[in-house]
Amino acid sequence: MTAPVPTPADSTAWQEAGVRLDVEGEFATVTLCHPKRRNAQTPAMWRALAAIGRELPATVRVVVLRAEGVSFSAGLDRAMFTPEGIPGEPNFLALAAGSDQELDAQIAGFQEAFSWWRRPDLVSIALVQGHAVGAGFQLALSCDLRICAEDVQFSMRETSLGLVPDLTGTKPLTDLVGYARALEICATGRWVHAAEAAATGLANLVVPSAEQLEEAGRDLAAALLAAPRAAVIETKALLLGAGGRSYEEQRAAERAAQARRLRDLAGIGD
């Protein structure tokens, strides 16, 4: 890994919102950095995460998402549920009072913080320790891969609050664990611990302690960076699209992707 380079000019505002970006050549680290609040999430944090996704240098191939403190993220800042809300932000009462178009646009804006992690030119890895609740669970799910400490505790608590998970988490959760288990996890809000996360595919790897997460993340990042970028991009696109294709459609997609790779390697691509 090369030495860190300065992050964009908005980095001070991002850190005030609870997020920090560090870039080392092809490798970037996004850190949730409000440990005293257990990295509770706010619209300001979501705007910062969305901005990082837009501003990430084109050279970056692997992004690690990590969190300071004992918990990855305790989920949504509960002040959003109070009449006072968070200063400068709409509370849920104000959101609910908006028109259908306004409410849809607000939620779509929130989702931007969660939607860029799976774009085809990147591989994202979440390093998860302690509690990952609600929005925290969904943020971990937004990444391609997850490495968890043995103390990890996932929970989807939105349903118990009368809400639904709306921060892009329902599809990756269902893809990973299947419909029946995803429904049970969401509808009950129960805890999912490390052993179950590993057994069901929520976790790609479990390490004994949070102190070992960073090393494990860097080892996985190095392995990903060892492969040619174009091959990884094509492979990721094939796998992301596989669920929506028939067997024959996937065979055709594989042929087309391989033709592009062969011609590129031969120097006769477009």
Q: On the CB side of 238, how many CA atoms lie within 13 Å of its CA?
A: 18
Can you state the percent helix, strand and coil of the chain, rounding each to 5? 50, 15, 35
Do 174 and 49 lie in one domain? The reply is yes
Do 215 and 243 lie in one domain? The reply is no
3 is a domain residue: no
Do 244 and 191 lie in one domain? The reply is no
4 is a domain residue: no
- Count the domains in the chain: 2
CATH number at residue 202: 3.90.226.10
Q: Check residue 84 and give its pLDDT.
A: 82
6 is a domain residue: no
The 3-state secondary structure of 35-85, one letter per residue: HHHCCCECHHHHHHHHHHHHHCCCCCCEEEEEECCCCCECCECHHHHCCCC
Do 50 and 88 lie in one domain? The reply is yes
H-only helix segments in 158-228: 170-177, 179-188, 194-200, 213-225
Contact of 53 with 112, CB cutoff 8 Å = yes
**pLDDT, tens only, 150-177:** 999 999 999 998 999 999 999 999 999 9
Do 174 and 254 lie in one domain? The reply is no
Do 221 and 247 lie in one domain? The reply is no
**pLDDT, tens only, 50-97:** 999 999 999 999 999 999 999 999 999 988 888 888 888 888 888 889
Do 67 and 174 lie in one domain? The reply is yes
Do 131 and 203 lie in one domain? The reply is yes
Domain that holds residue 128: 11-225
What parts of the chain have a pLDDT lower than 50?
A: 1-9
